[in-house]
Amino acid sequence: MGKLNRVAATLTLLAAAAWGGSVGATVIVDFGNINTSLGDKGVGEVKIFLDAVASASTSTGHVGSQTGLPNTPVITFDTSGVDVKFANGFAGIDALKVTGVPQLYNTLTISVPKGWTFTDLEFSVNSAPDFTVTGSNGAHSTITNPPNGDKDFTIFATGSTEFTSLAFSSAVGFDKFNHFEISGLAPAVPEPSTWAMMILGFTGVGFMAYRRKSKSALIAA
């Protein structure tokens, strides 16, 4: 399957190059259970409101309002040790400037707390370089020649999978991500092994309670 994906990616790149010799054509290649598209393609997305931090590599965001809707998790944003500016509200993550020059950041990871999943994320990125996005489900997309300006992308988990995180990376670096929206937020379904452990635990507790009750009855007799 990996070989077929590489062949498909090569053919897609060749086709883009052949289409009028188009150097500026955006090429998106998906590997595994992920679909990355240009534009607002999601349904039922809810805005994420960032917490303002003037200079830090980590901040949080809240779903639906600045304080978060009831029963929704806090979203974490992490730039792997590179300080950036997190703007307040339905806003963005800006590279810090030194003498007017943006100090680009190469990675951004967006994640939900343990026990939660999501199915898609919409965002915009300003003057995007070529970049890769990797999902926690093991899938990834490569985006080559993104359009200039502040453009929307939507990323979906496919094949009945979900995300717990999305990691963006670029060798060139990012100047600004903006306007995050998320959907498909839900508590994670326990793995079969987890269910088995829970059932064994409940069975054990029930058996111990039964033994104590039986022992008390014998003593009373």
DSSP one-letter string for the chain: -HHHHHHHHHHHHHHHHHTTT-SS--EEEEESSEEEEES---SS-EEEEEPPEEEESEEEEEESSSS--TT-PPEEEE-TT--EEEPSBS-EEEE-EETTEE--EEEEEEE--TTEEBSEEEEEEET--SEEEEETTS-EEEEESPPSSEEEEEEEE-TT--BSEEEEEEEEEESEEEEEEEE--EEPPPPHHHHHHHHHHHHHHHHHHHHHHHHHHHHH-
- How many Cβ atoms from other residues are within 10 Å of residue 201's Cβ? 10
Please check whether residues 15 and 118 belong to one and the same domain.
yes
Range of the domain at 203: 190-221
Pair 194, 176 in one domain:
no
- One domain, residues 124 and 36: yes
Alpha-carbon span 35 to 140, nearest angstrom: 9
Are 181 and 197 part of one and the same domain?
no
* Predicted pLDDT of residue 196: 47
The predicted pLDDT at position 42 comes to 76
Instruction: Quote the pLDDT of residue 59.
Output: 98
**pLDDT tens series, the chain, 221 aa:** 444 454 444 444 444 444 333 456 999 999 999 999 998 877 889 999 999 999 999 999 999 999 999 999 999 999 999 999 999 999 999 999 999 999 999 999 999 999 999 999 999 998 889 999 999 999 999 999 998 888 899 999 999 999 999 999 999 999 999 999 999 999 986 655 543 454 555 455 554 554 566 555 555 55
**What does the alpha-carbon distance between residue 168 and residue 136 come to, in Å, rounded to a whole number?**
12
**Token pair 């303002």 in the structure block, residue:** 52
pLDDT at 151: 86
Do 106 and 198 have their domain in common? Answer: no
Closest to 104 (Cα-Cα) out of 180, 179, 172, 178:
172
Residues 176 and 199 in one domain: no
Q: Are residues 76 and 146 in the same domain?
A: yes
Instruction: Examine the domain organization and report whether 157 and 110 are in the same domain.
Output: yes
Counting the structural domains of the chain, the total is 2
What is the pLDDT, as a whole number, of residue 190? 60
115 CB neighbour count, 10 Å cutoff: 10
Please tell me the predicted confidence (pLDDT) of residue 40. 81
- Same domain? For 136 and 197 the reply is no
| 9 and 25 together in one domain | yes
pLDDT at 128: 85
Q: What are phi and psi of 138, to 5 degrees?
A: 90, -5
In this structure, the answer to whether residues 175 and 209 fall within a common structural domain is: no
74 and 171 co-located in one domain = yes
